[in-house]
Amino acid sequence: PSRPSGLSLPPFSLSSGCVSILKGIDQSCVNKCMEDNKSFTSQCSPAFGTLADCGFKNCKAECISGDPDAESCVTCNEQKCSPAFHSSTGFEVQCKYDKDCNGDSAGVTSGDLVWTDCGSAGDIATVKSVSGTPVVGADFDVVAELSLASDVTSGTVNLSGSLNGLNVLNVDQDLCTANDISLPLNAGDLYWPDACGSAGDMTVDVKANLKLSASYSLTLKSDGVFCIETSFAV
């Protein structure tokens, strides 16, 4: 079969239903997507399943942002996967986003930080507000204003978070000790401050520097003290 050069090839995202973080690419799902949405025959479509599988296995970190047009994602696929595809099919592939196979999850834009008090009635702290202006490639602050019913002198806080729905953080941190925390996949860094203090108003300023444009969630939970859930896209 022949197709014109300059074929637009959709990288497959988690929302497509063809990708599992644990199991990898479902090649038959990719093949069917290309047949149903791009009118390829069943003889041609397996080349796309093979290509998607190669990208998942060899370029997962480079494409973790969810943006298929990201330089690192395109470059990795062109270097490690596209040559074999070109050779077997004769197609010239341009890696572009295609909503028919990817859904609407790619190419997120900047948005406001959304927060929820996920604590219990008996927690020491009342969360009055959480604010921040998330950005990529520069430091920014997530600032929580708390009111403590009594002194907090010790404890542990769990920091958990996700990137485009993929769990990438689950760290237990001493509540009263400042510490730098590196995110997996070179996604960036967090700075946890000393969050212990006397009864009354207290500010907890978590600093972040993110390297990838994506949708993020971050939960800060200290049993018996406070729980804060945040989400944002940059």
pLDDT tens digit at each of 234 positions of the chain: 333 333 334 445 544 567 776 677 888 888 888 888 777 788 888 888 898 888 888 887 787 766 666 778 778 888 888 888 877 776 655 544 444 444 433 333 334 788 889 989 899 999 999 988 898 888 999 999 999 999 999 999 999 988 777 778 899 999 999 999 988 777 889 999 999 999 999 999 999 998 887 788 899 999 999 999 998 888
| pTM of the predicted structure, to 2 decimals | 0.56
The angle subtended at Cα 129 by Cα 162 and Cα 120, nearest 5°, is 70
- Taking the C-alpha atoms of residue 217 and residue 161, their distance in angstroms, rounded to an integer, is 5
- Taking the C-alpha atoms of residue 130 and residue 109, their distance in angstroms, rounded to an integer, is 21
3-state secondary structure of 87: helix
The pLDDT value recorded for residue 198 is 96
Residues with Cβ within 8 Å of 112's Cβ and at least 6 positions away in sequence, in order, are 232
Q: And the tokens for 187?
A: 């996604």
